[in-house]
Amino acid sequence: MAFPNISEWSLQHQALVRYFLVALLVAGILAYNQLGQMEDPEFTIKTMVVRVFWSGASAEEVEQQLTDKIEKKLEETPYLDFLRSYSKAGESTLFINLLDSTPAKAVPDVWYQVRKKVGDIKNTLPSGVTGPFFNDEFGDTFGSIFAFTTDGFNYAELKEYIDDIRQELLRIDDVSKVDIIGAQEEKIYVELSHSKLAALKIDPNLIISTLQAQNVVTPAGTINTESDAVHLRVSGVFDSVESIRSLGISANGHVFRLGDIATVYRGYLDPPTTKMRFEGKEAIGLAVSMRKGGDVILLGKALQETMTRVKQNLPIGIELHQVSNQPAVVEQSIFEFVKVLAEAVIIVLIVSFLSLGFRTGLVVALSIPLVLATVFLVMKFFGIDLQRISLGALIIALGLLVDDAMIAVEMMALKLEQGWGRVRAATFAYSSTAFPMLTGTLITAAAFLPVGMAKSAAGEYTFSMFQVVIIALLISWVVAVLFIPYLGYILLPEHKTPNHEEHHIDVYAKGFYVPFRKMVEFCVYYRKSIILLTFIIFATAIYGFRFVEQQFFPSSNRPELLIDLWLPQGSSYQATEKAVVAMETLLRNDPHIENFVSYVGSGSPRFYLAMDLQLENINFAQIVVMTKGGEGREIVLQKIRGLLDNNFPELRGRVTRLENGPPVGYPVQFRVLGKDLEKLRVIAQEVAELMRQNPYTRNVHLDWNEKAKTVKLDIDQDKARQLGISSETLSNTLNTFLTGLNITEYREKDKLIQIVGRAIPSERSLLGNLDELNIPLANGATVPLSQIARLVDGFEEGVIWRRDRLPVISVRADIVDGIQAPDVTNQLLPVLNAVKAKLPLGYEIQTGGAFESSAKSQKPIATVLPIMFITILTLLMLQLQSMQRAILVLLTAPLGIIGMTIFLLLLQRPFGFVAMLGAISLAGMIMRNSVILVDQIEQDRESGIPAFEAIVGSTVRRFRPIMLTAAAAILAMIPLSESVFWGPLAVTIMGGLLVATVFTLFFLPALYAAWFRVKRE
């Protein structure tokens, strides 16, 4: 079946081709300006958090009565990968993690199933349980965070302003949600002295009931007259703190004013659970999240305009600070990428002009903006934003998208040099190269299939790389057969003899082609030696690859640093805040620091997608340090490491750069699982000791180990019953005095403020005076706690982590700078085999960290490789129609490993997930050149040229287009090679393609001759 000659058609319809050319350029420019802009591509965080509270229960009770029951039910969750949970006193928190292969569209329905399943067993949970509470927005990113500090306003007054500002921000089109951070909950405290109440013989329960009765809202009735319905309102509801103080308490025949027997004041939750601090000052923050599909640059401009107006209207004493500015980061990132893209375009243009000459190079040069414009148009159609991955893919594609144009115009220029007319030369280029080019283009595209079809978090993160490269490759082929002939017809001159008769000039019989031909003849003649030498070099490269550093994703080059401060389990909020203040003091006035913001009792909101989010814990704090970038970031990093090592021995501190890719947390991790907690601790400590012996690990620790302090009240039950005191009554009394009891609510406008009763500070904070606490009796008398209970100091589990319903201790470590986490893990695995061999039944050690994440990401890639292989083989069969020739082409694909290994070792670059994608796509680039060369040999043999000459002659004739396309692809990678994220991929492609191209020109002819037993000539 004969296919129409598209190049011939384009020359017959030049006006239409001109229209399409201009229309695509204009549409592409418009599309580019409308493309969404982001820092990272969107990918679904497939984790949900469920929290349940049971006040008064120990960690063990929470684990057995809450966590285990909920986990057992959640094992039925579809797409479940693993369950992770922690139980601590009064709280159970569960993390439901779905398989990476879970379709993004299925995730909301899975979260609905989780809600339903937990709801089904709610009635089986103990009485007094609060919750469950679900968070399926765990992956929300708050790219813009603002802090408000004040001098002269209290928290409540500041929050009123912030509530109004939040409403303003929610009116911005691209804003999805605005969360308030660090606001302190207002309380009205009624603080009582148990000794004073005992002296006055006032039962604290009487005060509680009086407060509740006075403040309750109940209907007083309605009088219906002939004309009106009149509602009766009873006065007495609290309308100020003073009205609470003035409340009369009737006891023992006397009326006491509440303010005379208790301290009544308005304040904030004490102790706090979380706070935000900006550069040492307490603050309230606003965190802004962008709607899905929004443009972060436009959002940044809208936020800037709104915040400028807000700042102008703020009263003196309130200051506004921006602590996270993702729009600025994205704008700078895109500017740098566009700069790199421009540099790559210039390099490709220089290659074109130097190798092809001005006019021929100009044809190739004009194809670049046309292809890019069309790519932008298609990206807009499919909703692909400009972000880290898609911009990197554009640069990768740039070196490939000129290949077809170079091949087509080079063939056309060659025929013109031989005296052909422009129309005939253009149409011949199509008939001789179009379908081999299409096959080569599709093979290159097929090599990116593992990127597009990998069902993993990393695969979803890099999916736009597959989209953009495929789009660019297919468009480049269309441009090469439709627009390049027209541009060549317009720009390339004809070469005619004086009498205008066509003649054929053998351009391959002069210049460089002469020695090159001799080298190819040598390889074909000594084919066995060449094949053996190639195999030896290839085997050496395979062996040498073991010395290449392994990596998952590199650290980000953003200027922020994260400081994590973990105090021992059972530490108070005050101790955590004290450590934060000490660190802030040491950071202040550092010339390399722009600002810093502290989150006490919780981690920072997710201000970038790949963040390892930390939930609320009063013994935890996180400080985000905004450095001035570059070397300054590394100077601050080393300074903080020194501070943590020398100034904070009482806590576990860590400072890290931001991550790229799916969050991993600690780079080196081993999980120890088993039922008995004490055995688990022993095994985990043994693992930790072996990890500390590795010279490349630092900060080795167990994620939980410490026990929390407790005081057990051993009650004399007989005496307690005689006095009418039950364990429940005693617990409630102690809880009221020491922690506080929510008595009733104070209503103020739209606010509900809890009125909390508790003991005065001197009686509730001194552990040594606990036995003197007076316990009220039913007859109005009191009895000291020491008369009915014996206080015993002790310890209990502070927290219990579990994974898939088994207790688990994770042994974690950071690594020395310049060393890759998978390499360290590989060094530790043989050492840990001795520990694994003697583990009791029911205990195991699992590998986590970057090693596990990398393996999980590579597995889906490996699953798709057979599909890629079959697709490429099918394309080769369609083009070559010979299994033997198809196998020949396939055998050239691994040759890229040689150059890849050499360059990665020489330049000391790690081989990670992104570099692996480059290695897979490299195979397609190599086979693209191979299929064009093999097809040319077959064409020559079919035309009657002897096999030996066909091999040598085809290699000589294909030398220039193969080298030109390879040079364009290699040199276009140079600007990208300096990138922290893309550098290893660029080096992989550059080194692999350079060496493989040389082998294609020398090894492939020798292999072809040996395979088909071509006689030497």
CA nearest neighbour of 15 among 493, 490, 492: 490
Q: Is residue 487 a contact partner of residue 367, using CB atoms and an 8 Å limit? A: yes
923 pLDDT above the threshold of 60: yes
316 pLDDT above the threshold of 70: yes
**pLDDT at residue number 501:** 45
Confidence of residue 87 (pLDDT cuts 50, 70, 90): very high
The Cα–Cα gap between 983 and 919 comes to: 13
The Cα–Cα gap between 644 and 654 comes to: 7
Nearby residues of 284 by Cβ (< 8 Å), 6 or more positions away: 147, 148, 155, 158, 159, 162, 180, 181, 182, 183, 276
Task: For residue 80, list its beta bridge partners.
Answer: 98
Q: Is residue 206 a contact partner of residue 271, using CB atoms and an 8 Å limit? A: no
β-pairing, 741-748 with 652-657? unpaired
105: three-class secondary structure by DSSP: helix
If one compares 504 and 245, the residue with the highest pLDDT of the two is 245
Mean pLDDT of the 710-719 span: 81
**pLDDT at residue number 109:** 93
Among 44-48, 430-434, 474-478, where is mean pLDDT lowest? Answer: 430-434
For 625-683, the pLDDT digits (tens) are 999 877 888 899 999 999 998 888 888 889 988 887 777 888 899 999 999 888 999 99
The Cα–Cα gap between 154 and 265 comes to: 14
If one compares 147 and 44, the residue with the highest pLDDT of the two is 147
The Cα–Cα gap between 807 and 242 comes to: 52
Q: Is residue 610 a contact partner of residue 659, using CB atoms and an 8 Å limit? A: yes
**pLDDT at residue number 236:** 66
What one-character DSSP code corresponds to residue 725?
-
**pLDDT at residue number 149:** 92
412: three-class secondary structure by DSSP: helix
96 pLDDT above the threshold of 90: yes
Other beta carbons within 10 Å of 226: 4
Cα angle 670, 672, 673 (rounded to 5 degrees) comes to 140
For 367-392, the pLDDT digits (tens) are 888 989 999 999 999 888 888 888 88
Confidence of residue 596 (pLDDT cuts 50, 70, 90): very high
277 pLDDT above the threshold of 90: yes
611 pLDDT above the threshold of 50: yes
Report residue 32 as tokens.
């580019």
1 pLDDT above the threshold of 70: no
What architecture does CATH give domain 140-218+232-274+283-338+730-780?
A: 2-Layer Sandwich (3.30)
* Whole-number Cα distances in Å, 699 to 340, 436, 647, 654, 668: 38, 57, 15, 8, 11
35 pLDDT above the threshold of 80: yes
CATH classification of 46-138, choosing from 2.40.10.220, 3.40.50.1820, 3.30.70.1430, 3.10.105.10? 3.30.70.1430
Mean pLDDT of the 393-421 span: 77
Q: Is residue 382 a contact partner of residue 907, using CB atoms and an 8 Å limit? A: no
The Cα–Cα gap between 472 and 464 comes to: 12
Mean pLDDT of the 574-602 span: 92
CA nearest neighbour of 487 among 650, 362, 642: 362
pTM of the model: 0.82
Q: What is the number of helices (H) and of strands (E) in the chain?
A: 35, 30
Report residue 303 as tokens.
């936020």
Our CA dihedral for 242, 244, 248, 252, rounded to 10 degrees, sits at -130
Confidence of residue 786 (pLDDT cuts 50, 70, 90): confident
Q: Is residue 710 a contact partner of residue 798, using CB atoms and an 8 Å limit? A: no
Q: Is residue 565 a contact partner of residue 867, using CB atoms and an 8 Å limit? A: no
Q: Is residue 842 a contact partner of residue 674, using CB atoms and an 8 Å limit? A: yes
Q: Is residue 110 a contact partner of residue 102, using CB atoms and an 8 Å limit? A: yes
For 932-985, the pLDDT digits (tens) are 888 888 888 888 888 888 888 889 888 888 888 888 888 888 888 887 788 888
2 pLDDT above the threshold of 60: no
**pLDDT at residue number 502:** 44
919 pLDDT above the threshold of 80: yes
Indicate the class that CATH gives domain 510-547+882-1016.
mainly alpha
Mean pLDDT of the 353-358 span: 80
Confidence of residue 437 (pLDDT cuts 50, 70, 90): confident
40 pLDDT above the threshold of 80: no
Among 146-160, 211-225, 800-814, where is mean pLDDT lowest? Answer: 211-225
Confidence of residue 507 (pLDDT cuts 50, 70, 90): low
The Cα–Cα gap between 258 and 238 comes to: 13
Query: What is the average pLDDT score of the chain?
Result: 85
Indicate the class that CATH gives domain 556-658.
alpha beta
Confidence of residue 75 (pLDDT cuts 50, 70, 90): very high
The Cα–Cα gap between 317 and 134 comes to: 38
In the chain, where the domains are located: 1-34+357-496, 46-138, 140-218+232-274+283-338+730-780, 510-547+882-1016, 556-658
The Cα–Cα gap between 266 and 274 comes to: 19
Task: For residue 625, list its beta bridge partners.
Answer: 561, 596
Amino acid at 43: F
Mean pLDDT of the 253-259 span: 84
Other beta carbons within 10 Å of 401: 32
**pLDDT at residue number 496:** 60
Would you say the CATH fold of 510-547+882-1016 matches that of 140-218+232-274+283-338+730-780? no
Q: What percent of the chain has pLDDT over 90?
A: 24
The Cα–Cα gap between 352 and 360 comes to: 8
Task: For residue 37, list its beta bridge partners.
Answer: 386
Q: What percent of the chain has pLDDT over 70?
A: 97
3-state secondary structure 832-877: HHHHHHCCCCCCEEEEEHHHHHHHHHHHHHHHHHHHHHHHHHHHHH
What architecture does CATH give domain 1-34+357-496?
A: Up-down Bundle (1.20)
Other beta carbons within 10 Å of 478: 17
Q: Is residue 188 a contact partner of residue 756, using CB atoms and an 8 Å limit? A: yes
CA nearest neighbour of 356 among 397, 402, 398: 402
The Cα–Cα gap between 500 and 419 comes to: 9
917 pLDDT above the threshold of 70: yes
Nearby residues of 748 by Cβ (< 8 Å), 6 or more positions away: none
